[in-house]
Copies of this chain bind each other. A is one copy, B any other.
Amino acid sequence: VTSLLPAARLDELACLVDERGLRTDADALEQFGRDWTRAHTPAPGAVVLPASIEEVQAIVRWAREHRVAIVPSGGRSGLSAGAVACAGELVLALDRLNTISDFNATDRTVRCGAGVITAQLQAFAEEQGLFYPVDFASSGSSQIGGNIATNAGGIKVIRYGMTRDWVAGLKVVTGAGELLDLNRGLIKNNAGYDLRHLMIGSEGTLGIIVEALITLQAPPGARAVMVLGTPDMAAVMEVLAAFRDRVTLEAFEFFSEEALAKVVEHQGLPRPFETQSAYYALLEFDTPDEEAQAAALACFEHCVEAGWVEDGVLSQSLQQAQALWRLREDISETISRWTPYKNDISTTVSRVPALLAEVEEVVSANYPDFEIIWFGHIGDGNVHLNVLKPEAMAMDEFQRRCGEVSEGVFDAVARHGGSISAEHGVGLLKKPYLRYSRSAAEIALMAQIKRVFDPDGIMNPGKLLDA
A202: Cβ under 8 A from any B Cβ: yes
A400 to chain B minimum Cβ distance, whole angstroms, is: 23
Scan A312-353; emit 1 where CB is below 8 A from any B CB, else 0: 000000000000000000000000000000000011111000
The total of chain A residues at the interface (CB under 8 A) is 73
Q: Which of A184, A190, A192, A418 has the most CB of B within 10 A?
A: A190
Q: Of the candidates B107, B192, B421, which one forms a contact with A446 in the assembled complex, judged by CB atoms under 8 Å apart?
A: B192
**Chain B nearest Cβ from A453, distance in angstroms:** 7
Please name the residue on chain B nearest to A380 by beta carbon.
B187
Within 8 A of B (CB), among A412-467: 417-426, 430, 434, 437-439, 441-443, 445-446, 448-449, 452-453, 464-465
A395: interface (CB < 8 Å): no
Asked whether any CB of chain B lies closer than 8 Å to the CB of A2, the reply is no
Contact: A439 with B185, CB < 8 Å?
no
- A419 CB contacts on chain B under 8 angstroms: 186, 188-191
> Which residues from chain B contact A445 at a C-beta distance below 8 Å?
174, 180, 195, 452-453
CA separation between A186 and B151, bound complex, in Å? 14
Are B381 and A188 in touch, CB under 8 angstroms?
Answer: yes
Interface residues of A in 198-230 (CB under 8 A from B): 198, 200-202, 206, 218
Per the bound structure, the CA–CA distance linking A178 and B438 in Å amounts to 14
Q: How many copies does the complex hold?
A: 2
A125 close to B (CB within 8 Å): no
A106 adjacent to B193 (CB under 8 Å): no
Residue with the greatest number of chain B CB neighbours at <10 A, chosen from A151, A218, A377, A449: A449
CB distance from A462 to the nearest CB of B (A): 14
Determine the chain B residues whose CB is within 8 A of the CB of A157 once the complex forms: 187-188
Given contacts A178-B441, A181-B439, A188-B162, contact A107 B349 (CB under 8 A): yes
Q: A188-B419, A198-B198 are in contact. List 9 more A-B contacts (CB 8 A).
A: A106-B350, A162-B188, A180-B442, A188-B346, A190-B423, A191-B426, A192-B434, A218-B245, A449-B452
- Top-10 shortest CB links A-B: A197-B197, A106-B350, A188-B422, A189-B419, A191-B437, A184-B417, A448-B452, A187-B380, A188-B382, A191-B421
